[in-house]
Every structure is written in C-alpha cells, then in structure tokens.
Amino acid sequence: MNNDVYYHDPIAHMRMLELEIEIIRSRIQKHNTGHLYTAINVLENRIEELEKHIKDALKDAPGIHSIRLGIK
C-alpha cells in the first residue's frame, strides 16, 4: 500500500489499530510469540504515519482538513 493512501477517517483508522494492538498484546505468551511483537511494532509505526498525516493536514489548511478528517 502506498504511504499516500489514507482512509476517509484517519482518526477512526488509528483507533481501530490501537484496539488491534490491545488484542495482540493480550495474546502474548512466554514463548513462540515473537511474531506478535513484530505485528505490534508494524501497527505502532502505522499509527505514527497517520498521526503525521493528520498533523500535516491541519497545519496546511486547518478549516478544510478539520472537516475532512472528522475533527471538530
């Protein structure tokens, strides 16, 4: 997926990713779950990308992008 592609509501997308991280963390065990740590890291990086996208959009044109991003 291209880094320039964002869903209509990046804030809702971030929240969904945060919920997925919580679910994955609940599945971590003492052994053989390194892939879960990798998944968490990937999702956390994606959240950071979305946060940057939101901040950049608000900095460029607060009024217009606030409406598009669902920020009130």
Nearest to 21 by CA among 50, 42, 52: 42
- Answer whether 31's CB lies under 8 Å from 24's CB: no
32 three-state secondary structure: coil
**Residues 4, 63: Cα–Cα separation, whole Å:** 21
pLDDT higher than threshold 90 for residue 8: no
Task: Report the predicted TM-score, pTM, of the whole model to 2 decimal places.
Answer: 0.73
56-69 pLDDT, tens digit per residue, is: 877 876 665 555 55
Each domain of the chain, given as residue ranges in start order, spans 10-68
31 three-state secondary structure: coil
Q: How many CA atoms lie within 13 A of 54 on its CB side?
A: 19
